Chain A
């Protein structure tokens, strides 16, 4: 798959958006523990960032998936990873099921404002007791006439304090295991819906992450996305898209970190010469950049297979696993070559080092990717 001039033009616009609308505020938002999503999202929407692949009927751009790849790479270059993640949640984690399985009425009411950046959304799957093993989740929606009455707790929810609606995964029957779950759109202004606490995190500090409590929250059964009882399966497909965002954005994060470090090693001198005169240093940076190139190529293969409608479970899981490990190695190495300065909060390497730790946990931990891959290889896992 080859990117065209149009992709490059769009990339330039996303980069400009990041440079003008995000980076100047990064330090302030990091310190505040949140960014103003309702102010920023309309600006992201204005260049098409929040509905690239979606139907123009609902304000989407009708672009093919490759533009999503370009957008995610650029969001990965941001000085504040939490903001990029929040945009990723809105465009590639909380809304894909709604676009794919939702009714026209649901899309008009919930998808269109999300694409326009007027609504902020969350994906609510993880619970205090279970994350990796989604089959054990306990949040329960009980049917009462035309309503669901939902009770439960959701943990680590990105955009959690600012969301206007969440795409919630809940049990809608007592079958247990993978069966009997449904995806339900829950507006956050319903009685019984609350944010029990915002969570103080190691990294991605500009993003608000919250614990949500649902105490007999009533929403219409008409808010169910797709088929009642197929929520787990639909969410697994939505997770695949989330993995792609993680892998695509990582390439941007690594590129930027390595670019900055290459510039730095020319300036810093040790033992009478620039750091760049040490072959160990240049080889290490070249080696990491080479691995980034492999991930970039792999991502293009993921993108192409996805566009062709193939099952990309294996490709996307390989991408997510590789990305999580690589970006941590890159952040660690970049910090190392900056020495003591790299360890200071005032140097970009410190924030990056903290931020990238999430890459091997969120969106499916490394071990969960390995479990998926081992099973595909016919191994017990």
Chain B
């Protein structure tokens, strides 16, 4: 079974993150980045499936120069090969454009029996790229899997909701997005780190994918961030001293804040 895993290179949540003042897009130049932690679960799931059977895991990312690090990390974990789509014109792309580029890249890879994605990126966190990508590829979309099994030509997942868990089966090829409940991602071993240096990584531009630059980037975006305001510093909490009427005063406070 051949699997393509879409992985995103995101700003490290540990570092100070901000916006580019000129166009209100996420500042990706001045921060350290890494493979989105939520995408590690997708990589792990792909590796497990291939290790239990056969086939290849290809990791695919769209992103700037440094996004090569995300591909590398996945290769160190054990993926077989990487594809990095990079083109200055892609900068500022929204979810529809991102999914367009991903779809064309997957076609150029030669398709896949299974496309895996994370449940959301840890920066944009819109959770819409997987659905858009499935639509563009004409694949069944099975999202938020907390358990996944492949049996012959079908994939079955469990999706945990607030009230119930659903079991969903789809025919392959399909697209599945996975949650952080599905597995415990491995960390690269010394052997994995060394082996990754010899694994092939393709670098593609928009031209390689036959996409016109007018279809992507900030100009083609369906949405625009008009304004960005920093979150105000947290307010001092309210301390309710208990002078025998603590319960009543707590209830009063909660009611005044419309919690009850």
Contact = CB atoms under 8 A, between A and B. Distances in A.
A9 B76 CA distance: 9
B188 to A, nearest CB: 5
B194 interface: yes
Interface stretch (A12-20, A163-171, A222-230): A12-20
B201 to A, nearest CB: 15
B191 A9 contact: no
Query: Which of B73, B187, B189 neighbours the largest number of chain A CB atoms within 10 Å of its CB?
Result: B187
Contacts, number: 34
Contacts of B76: 9
Interface string A1-45: 000001001101100110010000000000000000000000000
Contacts of B190: 10, 13, 47-48, 52, 61, 63, 67
Interface residues of A, number: 15
Interface string B159-200: 000000000000000000000000010011111011001000
A52 B188 CA distance: 14
Contacts of B184: 20
B187 A61 contact: no
A46 interface: yes
B188 A46 contact: no
The secondary-structure label for the interface of chain A is helix
B189 A9 contact: no
A48 B187 contact: no
Nearest to A48: B190
Nearest to A15: B187
Contacts of A6: 193-194, 197
A67 B191 CA distance: 12
A63 B197 CA distance: 15
Interface in A33-81: 46-48, 52, 61, 63, 67
B188 A61 contact: no
Interface in B182-226: 184, 187-191, 193-194, 197
Contact of B193 (A9, A16, A17): A9
Nearest to A52: B190
A9 B196 CA distance: 11
Contacts of A12: 187-188
A60 to B, nearest CB: 10
A54 to B, nearest CB: 11
A365 B197 CA distance: 43
A47 B188 contact: yes
A72 to B, nearest CB: 14
A16 B197 CA distance: 21
A46 B189 contact: yes
Interface in A84-124: none
Contacts of B197: 6
A47 B187 contact: yes
A67 B194 CA distance: 12
A91 to B, nearest CB: 12
Query: Which of B184, B188, B190 neighbours the largest number of chain A CB atoms within 10 Å of its CB?
Result: B190
Contacts of A17: 187
Interface in B72-113: 73, 76
Contact of A16 (B187, B191, B194): B187
A16 B35 CA distance: 15
Contacts of B188: 9-10, 12-13, 47
A63 to B, nearest CB: 6
Contacts of A13: 187-190, 193
A381 to B, nearest CB: 40
Interface string B22-46: 0000000000000000000000000
Contacts of A16: 187
21 contacts: A6-B194, A9-B188, A9-B193, A10-B190, A10-B193, A12-B187, A13-B187, A13-B188, A13-B189, A13-B190, A13-B193, A16-B187, A20-B184, A20-B187, A47-B187, A47-B189, A48-B189, A48-B190, A61-B190, A63-B190, A67-B190
Interface of A: 6, 9-10, 12-13, 16-17, 20, 46-48, 52, 61, 63, 67
The 10 closest A-B pairs by CB, nearest first: A48-B190, A16-B187, A47-B189, A13-B187, A61-B190, A9-B193, A48-B189, A13-B188, A6-B193, A10-B193
Given A16-B187, A47-B188, A48-B189, 5 more contacts: A6-B197, A13-B188, A20-B184, A20-B187, A47-B189
